[in-house]
Amino acid sequence: MMGGLILSFFTAGPLGLFYGFIGILIAMVAFGWMWKIQILGAGDVKLLMALGALSGAATSTGKNGLTFTVDLALLSLIVGGALALILLIIKGRFLAFLKKFYRFLLTALDKNLETEFPKADSSLQMPFGISIAIASIWVWFDNPLIRWGIRPWN
Amino acid sequence: MELKSTLVSESGQAVTEYVLILGIIVLFYGGLMTVIEKMNLAERLAAPIVGSYARTYKYGNPTAKGFDEGTPENHPRAVIGGKVRLFINPR
């Protein structure tokens, strides 16, 4: 994190340092709650915070320092979702997941039924850091969210 | 000297099914944003209000269709001390 802040300062000056701090804050808010309810590990949050510190350095390559971390978080979830899907198919648990998800949608849409939130099998875990790493390289060199239109500030 | 790993688990701590649900939510949101943008939904929803405001400002009446039915002079206003001018909604 310190390295990211120093790099942001040397590449973009005080404004870069400011963007670095904002990036850390955004990462903490975006992923912190997921750690709190035990969806992600603390290391995943810290990794995103460290990458968020590079927001200032990202401005030197023409990116928006304020939105860099949000883009990174969104793309991490998309990449993570794709990896999770592959993992569930490989482990033969995808159909069970689909059933749970279907029950959730059915109970959420029918007013007469009590909404049944999908209870995930917490024993099936994955390293989310890989998704963050892939997403960070992707966002740095070619932000696909711009092409896909998945940005609230377009 | 023997080195011991401090890692609790190398298989990760993210709950796979929840990660997939979050991915689905982000993609759904992205799809929704794309549809809204393609349909110009925001502009369509604002059109009646924008039109009424524009006519009120131009003709002094939100129902006027052109200058035959109103002029900017008709627009009710309050002038305070000759310096501040406030337009009032005629409705």
Rounded to 5°, angle at Cα A76 from A74 and A81: 100
Distance of alpha carbon A25 from alpha carbon A35, whole angstroms: 15
Q: Cβ–Cβ of B14/A44 closer than 8 Å?
A: yes
Cα(B10)–Cα(A126) distance, rounded to whole angstroms? 9
Assess B6–A contact: CB distance below 8 Å, yes or no.
Answer: no
What is the three-class DSSP state of A14?
Answer: helix
What's the ipTM?
A: 0.84
| Structure tokens given for B24 | 């689905």
Strands B14-15 and A125-126: antiparallel
- A39–B16 C-beta distance less than 8 A: no
Interface check for B41 against chain A (CB to CB < 8 A): the answer is: no
B chain contacts of residue A118, beta-carbon cutoff 8 Å: 17, 21
Mark yes or no for CB contact A124/B15 under 8 Å: yes
Kindly report, residue by residue over B8-54, the tens digit of the pLDDT: 556 667 888 889 999 999 888 888 888 887 888 878 888 888 888 88
- Structure pTM? 0.74
Place of tokens 């928006």: A64
Candidates A87, A63, A47, A82; CA nearest to A139 is A63
